[in-house]
Amino acid sequence: MDLAGKNVVITGGGRGMGKKFAVDMKNAGAKPFVVDVIQENLDALKAETGIDGKILDVTKESEVEAFFNAYTDEHGAADVLVNNAGITADALFIKKKGEEIIKFPMSNWEKVINVNLTGVFLCAREAAYHMVKSGKKGVIVNISSISRSGNLGQTNYAATKSAVDSMTVVWGKELTKYGIRVGAIAPGYINTEMVAKIRQDMLDKIIANIPVGRLGEMEEISKAVRFIVENDFFTGRVIEVDGGMRI
Ligand code: NDP
């Protein structure tokens, strides 16, 4: 797909990697539109880049449906969806602290499942519905993670990201007949606020395990998004962009 003039919806694009994807899409001649949950971030995005956005919590079915209906009425169906919104809420599955045994909190489980799994499902479903309805070819790019292989302290996050990978394969198989391709990217540790939250001594250990010897840059993930959108022979697969690291 040629990006020029294409409608691109990016979830969680108010900051971090999603914002970078939006800016790069704009520079490539596409028409990005961002959804996110914090109005100030959307306002800053608009002021800095001219890119429009709207508040949308991707976990709410009726709100996601309403957003895609309204977006399609105004702009036409999205040609590209970048399913980027994602959160972490790490904890150990079971932690023994003295005599106390602490369980993985249910609230951490539900928060992450709702955004990273249900949110991805809902946005892809609505984007695909409108692509099919309008007879448009389209591309869905899901953002997975290196943690999909099972990262310590991330029962919830790892479960959602491996599910994102399998949904990518299923949708790749099911949607090809409508001209819709689906791909995912599993980034390694990228120089973002999400990674800045990791304790420095832990981060140093992580970096020591990255063969390339550094964190990835948002630009490097953005290039992978563009590759999936532009390469018409790519579907149902996950690209690993992780500096060679294995978890
Ligand atoms: P950020 O936290 O910087 O950005 C994620 C954005 O999603 C935030 O703006 C966040 O809002 C928004 N968001 C959270 N919940 C919702 C919701 N319910 N509905 C809509 N938007 C929501 O993350 P990154 O840029 O670091 O990560 C982007 C993606 O890449 C995620 O899917 C992440 O799992 C994945 N990833 C990141 C890696 C990294 O190294 N950073 C590595 C591998 C994968 P708010 O401002 O409120 O937080």
Sorted by where each starts, the structural domains of the chain and their CATH numbers stand as: 7-240 (3.40.50.720)
**DSSP state at residue 105:** P
From residue 52, how far is each of 32, 43, 70, 139, 230 by CA, in Å? 8, 9, 14, 20, 23
Question: What pLDDT, on the 0 to 100 scale, is given for residue 187?
Answer: 98
Take residue 158 and report the two structure tokens written for it: 């790892």
- Residue 8 backbone dihedrals phi, psi, to 5 degrees: -125, 120
Name the amino acid, one letter, at 229.
V
Going by alpha carbons, the residue nearest to atom 39 of ligand 1 is: 190
Ligand 1 atom at minimal distance to the Cα of residue 116:
32
pLDDT tens for 167-191 read: 999 999 999 999 999 999 999 999 9
- Residue 134 backbone dihedrals phi, psi, to 5 degrees: -90, -5
Following DSSP, what letter does each residue of 150-213 receive, concatenated?
A: T-TTBHHHHHHHHHHHHHHHHHHHHHGGGTEEEEEEEE-SBSSHHHHTS-HHHHHHHHHT-TTS
Please tell me the distance between residue 58's alpha carbon and the centre of ligand 1 in angstroms. Answer: 12
Q: Tell me which residue of 194, 172, 190 sits closest to 181, measured CA to CA.
A: 172
Q: Does position 3 have pLDDT exceeding 90, yes or no?
A: yes
Q: Tell me which residue of 67, 57, 169, 66 sits closest to 118, measured CA to CA.
A: 57
Please tell me the distance between residue 67's alpha carbon and the centre of ligand 1 in angstroms. Answer: 19
Please tell me the distance between residue 10's alpha carbon and the centre of ligand 1 in angstroms. Answer: 11
* Ligand 1, pocket residues at CB < 6 Å: 11-12, 14-18, 36-38, 41, 56-59, 84-87, 115, 119, 143, 145, 187, 189-190, 192-195
Q: What is the largest CA-CA distance in the chain?
A: 61
The C-alpha atoms of residue 36 and residue 94 are separated, in whole angstroms, by 33
Question: What pLDDT, on the 0 to 100 scale, is given for residue 194?
Answer: 84
Question: What pLDDT, on the 0 to 100 scale, is given for residue 49?
Answer: 98
In the predicted model, what is the mean pLDDT of the chain?
98
- Among 108-112, 125-129, 192-196, 238-242, the range scoring the smallest mean pLDDT is 192-196
Calculate mean pLDDT across residues 12-35.
98
Q: Does position 120 have pLDDT exceeding 90, yes or no?
A: yes
Q: For residue 88, what are the contacts with CB-CB under 8 A and spacing of at least 6?
A: 112, 154, 157, 194
The C-alpha atoms of residue 166 and residue 78 are separated, in whole angstroms, by 23
Question: Does residue 52 sit in helix, strand or coil?
Answer: strand
Catalytic residue among 129, 157, 178, 189: 157
- Annotated catalytic residue 178: no
Ligand 1 atom at minimal distance to the Cα of residue 19:
25
Going by alpha carbons, the residue nearest to atom 48 of ligand 1 is: 87
Calculate mean pLDDT across residues 44-52.
98
Which run of H or of E encompasses 133? helix 120-134
Q: Is the pTM of this model over 0.75?
A: yes
Question: What pLDDT, on the 0 to 100 scale, is given for residue 197?
Answer: 87
Please tell me the distance between residue 19's alpha carbon and the centre of ligand 1 in angstroms. Answer: 10
